[in-house]
Amino acid sequence: MESADQFDEFFAANYTALTRLVYRVVGDIGWAEELAAEAFWKLHQNPPASDHNLAGWLYRTGLRLALDNLKKRKRRAHYEALAPAPGAVESPEEALAQIEQQIRVRQVLASIKPEQSALLVLRSEGYTLGEMATILAINSSSVGTLLARADTAFRKEYVNRYGER
């Protein structure tokens, strides 16, 4: 698009239809409007080399954004479902004990090697050994050994600091 006026005309001619198309995929008008606007932003920021079939480019981009959004929402829902629901704390003493335990764990994690802390946190979040290797850019065949060492280092430091398991 050579001018702002052409872009404005193209926007006015295609925004509603693109939003309706994206809505059919995501099922939420707010998300559809946001994703349609993002598709236009991508067009504005990095237009295709040719203006030939610009509407087709825009609709493909909008559909890809919508499908990616669905995948993200599904992934997020999956991981949120795995998280334990917050339960009612029975007493202020129990709440305080839980907070103190969390502080202790964080202090111990901060005192051991960062690589070991990273492995332990990733494991607590449910990542597989292969995923941990990829995230931390380490050899996948050594993740199990490194994780065992991290667990040992954590336990040793915890016992040294707090005298309990």
Q: What is the mean pLDDT of the chain?
A: 89
Same domain, 68 and 11: yes
Residue 153 belongs to domain with CATH number: 1.10.10.10
Same domain, 110 and 152: yes
* Amino acid in position 39: A
Number of domains in the chain: 2
> Considering 47, 82, 117, which residue would you say is the last residue of a domain?
82
User: Does residue 69 form part of some domain?
Assistant: yes
How many angstroms separate the first and last alpha carbons of the chain? 66
User: Does residue 117 form part of some domain?
Assistant: yes
User: Does residue 87 form part of some domain?
Assistant: no
The CA–CA distances, whole Å, from 100 to 10, 87, 107, 157, 163 equal 59, 17, 11, 16, 15
User: What residues make up the domain containing 12?
Assistant: 4-82
pLDDT of residue 89: 58
Residue of 158, 129, 161 whose CA lies nearest to 146: 129
Same domain, 66 and 8: yes
pLDDT, tens digit, for every residue of 88-127? 657 888 888 888 999 999 999 999 999 999 999 999 888 8
Same domain, 9 and 63: yes
Same domain, 105 and 58: no
Same domain, 78 and 96: no
| pLDDT mean over 140-155 | 94
pLDDT of residue 10: 93
> Considering 62, 82, 102, which residue would you say is the last residue of a domain?
82
Give 44 or 89, the one with higher predicted confidence: 44
User: Does residue 28 form part of some domain?
Assistant: yes
> Considering 82, 110, 141, which residue would you say is the last residue of a domain?
82
* Amino acid in position 93: E
